[in-house]
């Protein structure tokens, strides 16, 4: 399996699909924020049969929206529905922090994703290049 991570790999979805076509004997997984998953891409994924998106979630709606922007959670659910309707496998990627570990460890979050077709769940710690801000929030810090 080849895994695409960093940035948003689906910005180059045409190239990703071409890789899938060129290597039908391989599986490809991409961590994605879900923004580019639509009916057209889902049809391409269905056609090539060797691509699995891992959609980033942060927990409940409040946690996901606070990290990804207002309405992000609803768009995640919409992307899951599109993939489920086409019976396509997908995963979720959960990056835990002190602010969302409770919601990410709840049956409610994982039960919802599982009932909607999620087949893989990747739970990752927040990278060390983040540090705790004075208000208890996480702030980005460049590594020295």
Rounded to two decimals, the pTM is 0.71
The predicted structure's pLDDT at residue 13: 93
125's CB contacts (< 8 A; 6+ apart) are 95, 96
Query: In the predicted model, what is the mean pLDDT of residues 112-119?
Result: 54
Name the band, by pLDDT with cuts 50, 70 and 90, for residue 50.
Answer: very high
**CA neighbor of 56 nearest in space, from 87, 34, 29, 79:** 34
H-helix segments, 88-128? 101-104, 107-115
| For residue 143, pLDDT beyond 60 | no
The predicted-structure confidence for 97-112, as pLDDT tens digits, reads as follows: 677 677 666 665 555 5
Residue 29 bridge partners (DSSP) = 3, 52
The band of 88, judged by pLDDT with boundaries at 50, 70 and 90, is very high
Complete edge-to-edge strand list for the sheet that includes strand 51-57: 2-4, 28-32, 51-57, 90-96, 118-125
Q: What residue ranges define each of the domains in the chain, with the CATH number in brackets?
A: 2-140 (3.20.20.70)
Mean of the pLDDT values across residues 81-102?
Answer: 81
């Amino acid at each position: 399996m080849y895994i695409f991570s960093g940035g948003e790999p689906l910005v180059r979805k045409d190239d990703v699909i071409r890789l899938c076509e060129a290597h039908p004997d391989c599986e490809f997984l991409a961590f994605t924020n879900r923004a580019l998953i639509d009916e057209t891409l889902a049809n391409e994924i269905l056609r090539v049969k060797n691509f699995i998106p891992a959609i980033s979630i942060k927990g409940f709606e409040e946690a996901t929206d606070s990290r990804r922007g207002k309405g992000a959670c609803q768009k995640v659910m919409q992307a899951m529905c599109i993939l489920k309707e086409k019976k396509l496998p997908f995963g979720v990627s959960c990056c835990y922090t002190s602010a969302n570990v409770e919601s990410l460890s709840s049956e409610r979050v994982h039960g919802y994703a599982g009932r909607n077709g999620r087949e893989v769940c990747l739970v990752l710690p927040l990278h060390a290049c983040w540090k705790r801000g004075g208000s208890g929030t996480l702030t980005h810090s460049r590594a020295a």
